[in-house]
């Protein structure tokens, strides 16, 4: 039987709720800017990323359902796992209305999930190293697209980070701080909810598909990497 996991809770945990239809696996549409120039054949196409899109999931009711629990379940935003792709996670939101009157009368309805274009590996292991004499660590992007990892650095002074031999950024730890998160997904540096971008110079790191080597100079005592392997 089909199943979804929405915000870490399985649809099977909602009494009386069944998933009647799951959406096809599809690739998001590319966003483009088209520029037409007089006297030139065709146009110039500038690719500017991928669009978010909608995944429709059919739901139904069986005996002993509690409509209030169903309504409570299908709200908000979070992570979505669909049984057709049990190892992938979508970042999704529910914006559209759900016809609960139809659900009560016909025992079926559709939930529209607004999903971001990339899907991520479910339960991906982080790579962590307590630094002694090492100056590099290998990490694998298991996806089919360039990923935007999240790094947690512990150290002091000025630390420079390189990916595959190319210097990417430099981070300067304030004298009273020893830890920072470098979040390439959000393009933010922060620690305990306080932004630290002013201490960072350079770009947020990205990982090529397959194996990558992250190296450093400076006083780094620990590094943790969440690869954020992803697919379209």
In tens, the pLDDT along 49-78 reads 889 999 999 999 998 899 999 999 999 999
* Percent above pLDDT 90 for the chain: 81
Name the fold adopted by 4-118.
Elongation Factor Tu (Ef-tu); domain 3 (2.40.30)
27 or 90: which carries more pLDDT confidence?
90
Q: What is the pLDDT of residues 45-57, one digit of tens each?
A: 777 788 999 999 9
181 contacts 194 by C-beta, under 8 angstroms: no
Strand residue runs (E) in 103-198 = 108-121, 127-130, 136-141, 150-163, 166-172, 179-183, 188-191, 194-195
- Confirm if 111 and 74 have CB atoms less than 8 A apart: yes
The counts of H helices and E strands in the chain are 2, 19
- DSSP state string for 53-94: EEEEEEEEE-TT--HHHHHHHS-SEEEEEETTSTTEEEEEE-
Rounded to the nearest integer, the mean pLDDT of the chain is 93
Q: Which of 31-45, 143-157, 215-229 has the lowest mean pLDDT?
A: 31-45
Residues 6+ apart with CB under 8 A from 142: 121, 124, 227, 229
What CATH code would you report for 127-231?
Answer: 2.60.120.860
Give me the pLDDT at residue 229, please.
98
CATH 2.60.120.860 residue window(s) in the chain: 127-231
Query: Which of 61, 88, 85 lies closest to 74, judged by CA?
Result: 61
Output the pLDDT for position 16.
94
Number of other CB atoms surrounding residue 77 within 10 Å = 13
Q: What is the mean pLDDT of residues 198-212?
A: 97
Q: With contact defined as beta carbons under 8 Å apart, do 128 and 153 qualify?
A: no
pTM of the model: 0.86
Could you report the per-residue pLDDT of 122-157, keeping only the tens digit for each? 999 999 999 988 999 999 999 999 999 999 999 999
Which residues in the chain are classed under CATH 2.40.30.200? 4-118
Going by the DSSP 8-state scheme, the letter that residue 199 receives in this structure is G
CB 11 within 8 A of CB 4: yes
CA distances 178 to 135, 170, 174, 225, Å, are: 18, 15, 8, 17
Q: Which tokens go with 155? A: 């150290």
Alpha-carbon distance 99 to 152, whole Å? Answer: 44
Would the pLDDT of 41 be above 90?
Answer: no
Q: Between vectors from CA 13 to CA 11 and to CA 16, what angle results, nearest 5°? A: 80
pLDDT in tens, 150-204: 999 999 999 999 999 999 999 999 999 999 999 999 999 999 999 999 999 999 9
* Beta carbons of 227 and 125 less than 8 angstroms apart: no
Strand bridging mode 4-6 / 77-82:
antiparallel
């Amino acid at each position: 039987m089909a199943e979804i996991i929405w915000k870490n809770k399985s649809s099977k945990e909602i009494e009386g709720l069944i998933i009647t239809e799951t959406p096809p696996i599809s690739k998001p549409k590319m966003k483009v800017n088209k520029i037409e120039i007089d006297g030139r054949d065709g146009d110039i196409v500038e690719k500017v990323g991928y669009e978010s899109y909608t995944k429709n999931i059919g739901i139904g009711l069986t005996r002993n359902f509690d409509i209030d629990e169903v309504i409570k379940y299908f709200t908000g935003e979070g992570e979505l796992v669909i049984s057709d792709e049990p190892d992938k996670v979508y970042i999704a939101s529910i914006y559209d209305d759900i016809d609960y009157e139809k659900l009560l009368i016909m025992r079926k309805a559709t939930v529209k999930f607004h999903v971001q274009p990339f899907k991520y590996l479910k339960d991906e292991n982080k790579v962590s190293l307590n630094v002694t004499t090492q100056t590099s660590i290998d990490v694998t992007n298991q996806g089919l697209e360039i990923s935007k990892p999240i790094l947690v650095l512990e150290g002091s002074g000025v630390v420079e980070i390189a990916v595959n031999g190319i210097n990417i950024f430099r981070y300067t730890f304030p004298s009273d701080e020893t830890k920072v998160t470098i979040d390439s997904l959000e393009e933010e540096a922060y620690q305990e909810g306080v932004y630290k971008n002013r201490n960072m110079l350079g770009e947020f790191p990205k990982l090529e598909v397959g194996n990558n080597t992250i190296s450093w100079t400076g006083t780094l005592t620990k590094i943790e990497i969440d690869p954020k392997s992803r697919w379209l």
